[in-house]
Amino acid sequence: NAGVTQTPKFQVLKTGQSMTLQCAQDMNHNSMYWYRQDPGMGLRLIYYSASEGTTDKGEVPNGYNVSRLNKREFSLRLESAAPSQTSVYFCASSKTTGHTEAFFGQGTRLTVV
């Protein structure tokens, strides 16, 4: 079982460039999440989608947009990358919103130079 799959695994961007991080899950989960992880900061929620067709801001949404394309896929877009967005990004999914276990993808290590 693939679980939660993120692409790409690594990416280097120049300041001002845009890119989309892709995430897909094959567990028929309703809820999906995007987190970023910086040293000493733990996981911070960027956006989440409680169900297909809905998205909500998390703790650190500025500079990001998301799309819940269908039940399986939830993408994160950086419109104009900044060095402050250098981080490791994790996508996760859970059966229902917040009340059930979340499962994580392998992460995307993004560097903005």
Partner 1 sequence: QKEVEQNSGPLSVPEGAIASLNCTYSDRGSQSFFWYRQYSGKSPELIMSIYSNGDKEDGRFTAQLNKASQYVSLLIRDSQPSDSATYLCAVNMFEGDSWGKLQFGAGTQVVVTP
- 60 Cβ neighbours under 8 A, 6+ residues apart: 36, 44, 45, 46
Query: Is 103 near partner 1 (CB under 8 A)?
Result: yes
Surface-to-core class of residue 29, CB atoms within 10 Å of its CB (0-12 exposed, 13-18 middle, 19+ buried): buried
Neighbours of 31 (CB within 10 A): 23
In the block, which residue shows the tokens 């695994």?
9
Decide if residue 99 touches partner 1 (CB under 8 A).
Answer: yes
Compare residues 58 and 63 and give the one whose CB is closer to partner 1: 58
- Subset of 24-43 contacting partner 1 (CB under 8 A): 31, 33, 35, 40-43
Strand partners, 6: 23
Q: Which is closer to partner 1, CB of 8 or CB of 16? A: 8
Is 53 a residue that touches partner 1 (CB under 8 A)? Answer: no
| Interface residue list for partner 1 (CB under 8 A) | 31, 33, 35, 40-45, 48, 50, 56, 58-59, 90, 92, 94, 97-107
